[in-house]
Amino acid sequence: MAVRQKRREQPKPVLSGADQGLLCVPLRDLEDTGLGVKLFTVEKKVWTPRPLDIGFCGMLIEFGSDKVPELAFGSAVKLRLCFGVTTIRLVGEVRRSQGRRYRLSFPESLVGEGPVNPPVALRKIVSALGAMWLQSRSTTASV
C-alpha cells in the first residue's frame, strides 16, 4: 500500500512586493540612522530636515525649530538622500504638512498602475534601514 504524502505549500512572504511600498521604516527611535537628507526648493534654497520615516513611496521629514519652509500641497521639491556609499536624487511631492513636519511622496516609485517600483538606490537604502530598525527591535535569546 502506497502512502500518499501531502505536499507542503511554501510559506507566503510577510509582505508581497506590492505591499512593501505601503509601509514606512520608522527612523525617529533610532539613535543614528546615517541617512542624510537635503531638500532643494524651486527658490534654490537648501534645507537639511530630519527623516522621521521612509518607505519606497515616500518619507516623513521634520525641520528644525528655527526655520521651516512654506511648501504648498502638491508642490515639488528635489531631494538628495545619502546612506553610506549610496546616494540618490529624487523628486518629492508634498502630500501633507503639520507644523514642522512634511509628508513627501516619491512619484518615481508610483509610475503606472502596476506594483510599486522604486529606483534601485532607494530600494537599497530603505531595505538597509529596515534591517537596521528590525535589529534595534530584536531581543537576543540566550541559548
Q: What is the pLDDT of residues 99-114, one digit of tens each?
A: 999 999 999 988 777 7
Distance CA 48, CA 37 (A): 6
Helix (H, G, I), strand (E, B) or coil at 98: strand
Number of other CB atoms surrounding residue 40 within 10 Å: 15
pTM: 0.79
Which tens digits make up the pLDDT trace of 6-63?
A: 554 544 344 444 445 557 899 988 888 899 999 999 999 999 999 999 999 999 999 9
Is 3.30.365.10 the CATH number for 34-131? no
- For cell 512619484, name the residue: 107
CA angle 18, 103, 66 (to 5 degrees): 155
Distance CA 88, CA 128 (A): 14
Answer whether 38's CB lies under 8 Å from 80's CB: yes
